[in-house]
């Protein structure tokens, strides 16, 4: 094609004549300066920025800090539990004095608690496979299992010494329960730390309210005859254990909330939305057991909402479940002034400075223990701030 034909073709299609065009300088888009976002857009984004500051640490470094936190918490926990909660399920209770005339409702509760605790081997092994890479968390989980095993033996003894069931019935029922295995509801460590927070708190509430019935403090008519000092004492002892477990998992959840706020909030919301007490789908006639514990005021929807979910959210810095949901809806990735995307979580009612302060206290407690033992001389655990400002 000659130049005349080319010009005709350009004119026919409305194309400009290059000879009449003044070329603009080529933009170098590899230059950070040329890639900057419009200042008005940045200002708008900054106006909507969260109250949580921008993370400073790499993912690998945050994972390392969380692991060091779990290891320090585990060491501190073991030392404390050996001093304050070293009891025996057989020798530390007067089983001959256990009542043999409890109401049918209380007897069903005893059998239900026994049934739930029979899945301790599954509670330990299924989660252990997920967290086995973590020194502190996996070793704590083994310790947790050894304490839960004592709970299982305690409820076994309560059913046995009530003499409501024969020893053969009890052994056969145990075999039936252990014929099916329980598996964890989530396959990742972050979801499971929040699941254990709510599950341990729920178990504690169950046993605290059982202790109240055994002391005659339930206020429920028709159960005045269920007062039993042995049952009250064993329920209280187990509830104390569950409180210790709950607090360990709570501290672990705070580590995730501090170093991975967006992901942690989403995981916590998933757990609350789909939460169920373990092994309920495996235990025969579990619905009847659930109906009895709800009717007795031991554990039902009201206790779950008020004494478990709201209690845990308060301890984690949330005003309530609505605040948690709002945080997820507004959570997002936003660009900084150079166009780099950064992770953030936007939620109005979380007390993030309180979480940061509690995480600092976790590391402070760990450091005190390390100073006492000598770990701080050779391998100290140091707190590292995750954000530019608090």
Handedness of CA 224, 228, 233, 236 (dihedral sign): negative
- Residue 352 is predicted with a pLDDT of 81
pLDDT greater than 60 at residue 100: yes
pTM, 2 dp: 0.81
DSSP 335: E
- Give the pLDDT confidence of 290-316 residue by residue, as tens digits: 999 999 999 999 999 999 999 999 999
What band does 325 get if pLDDT is binned at 50, 70 and 90? low
Average pLDDT over residues 270-288: 94
- For every residue of 200-241, DSSP letters joined together read HHHHHHHHHHHHHHHTT----TT-GGG--HHHHHHHHHHHHH
- Residue 193 is predicted with a pLDDT of 98
Helices (H) and strands (E) in the chain, counts: 16, 2
Q: Which of 160, 138, 141, 143 is nearest to 89 (CA)?
A: 160
Helix or strand holding residue 334 (H, E): strand 332-335
DSSP 18: G
* Spatial distance between the Cα atoms of 164 and 114, rounded to a whole number of angstroms: 14
- Give the pLDDT confidence of 136-153 residue by residue, as tens digits: 999 999 999 999 999 999
pLDDT greater than 50 at residue 275: yes
What band does 82 get if pLDDT is binned at 50, 70 and 90? confident
Please tell me the CATH code under which domain 69-330 is placed.
Answer: 1.10.620.20
pLDDT greater than 50 at residue 356: yes
> Pseudo-torsion of CA 333, 337, 339, 345, nearest 10°?
-10
What band does 17 get if pLDDT is binned at 50, 70 and 90? very low
Average pLDDT over residues 253-279: 92
Percent of the chain residues past pLDDT 70, beyond the cut = 77
* Spatial distance between the Cα atoms of 95 and 157, rounded to a whole number of angstroms: 8
Q: Which of 135, 252, 136, 109 is nearest to 194 (CA)?
A: 252
Residue 139's SS3 state is: helix
pLDDT greater than 60 at residue 49: no
Average pLDDT over residues 106-112: 97
Asked whether 164 and 99 are in contact (CB, 8 A), the reply is: no
Handedness of CA 269, 357, 62, 371 (dihedral sign): negative
Q: Is 130 left (phi over 0), alpha (psi -120 to 50) or beta?
A: alpha
Domain residue limits, the chain: 69-330
pLDDT greater than 90 at residue 21: no
């Amino acid at each position: 094609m000659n130049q005349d034909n080319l010009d005709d073709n350009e004119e026919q299609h409305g194309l400009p004549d290059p000879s009449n065009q003044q070329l603009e300088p080529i933009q170098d888009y590899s230059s950070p300066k040329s890639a900057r976002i419009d200042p008005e857009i940045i200002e708008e984004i900054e106006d909507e920025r969260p109250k949580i500051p921008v993370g400073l640490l790499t993912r690998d470094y945050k994972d390392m800090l969380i692991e060091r936190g779990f290891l320090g918490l585990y060491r501190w926990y073991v030392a404390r539990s050996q001093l304050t909660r070293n009891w025996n399920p057989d020798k530390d209770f007067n089983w001959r004095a256990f009542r043999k005339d409890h109401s049918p409702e209380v007897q069903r509760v005893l059998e239900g608690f026994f049934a739930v605790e029979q899945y301790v081997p599954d509670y330990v092994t299924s989660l252990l496979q997920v967290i086995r890479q973590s020194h502190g968390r996996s070793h704590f989980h083994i310790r947790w299992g050894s304490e839960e095993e004592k709970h299982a033996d305690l409820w076994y003894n309560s059913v046995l010494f009530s003499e409501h069931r024969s020893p053969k019935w009890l052994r056969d029922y145990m075999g039936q329960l252990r014929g099916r295995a329980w598996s964890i509801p989530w396959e990742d460590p972050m979801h499971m730390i929040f699941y254990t927070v709510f599950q341990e708190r729920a178990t504690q509430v169950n046993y605290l309210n059982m202790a109240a019935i055994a002391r005659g403090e339930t206020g429920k008519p028709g159960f005045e005859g269920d007062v039993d000092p042995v049952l009250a004492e064993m329920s209280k002892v187990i509830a104390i254990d569950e409180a210790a477990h709950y607090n360990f998992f709570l501290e672990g959840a705070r580590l995730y909330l501090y170093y991975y706020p967006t992901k942690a909030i989403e995981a916590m919301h998933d757990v609350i939305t789909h939460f169920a007490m373990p092994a309920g789908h495996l235990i025969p006639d579990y619905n009847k057991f659930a109906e009895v514990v709800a009717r007795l005021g031991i554990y039902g929807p009201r206790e779950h909402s008020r004494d478990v979910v709201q209690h845990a959210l308060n301890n984690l810095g949330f005003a309530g479940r609505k605040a948690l949901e709002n945080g997820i809806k507004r959570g997002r990735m936003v660009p900084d002034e150079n166009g780099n995307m950064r992770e953030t979580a936007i939620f109005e009612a979380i007390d993030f400075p309180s979480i940061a302060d509690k995480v600092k206290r976790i590391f402070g407690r760990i450091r005190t223990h390390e100073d006492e033992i000598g770990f701080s001389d050779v391998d100290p655990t140091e707190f590292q701030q995750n954000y530019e400002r608090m």
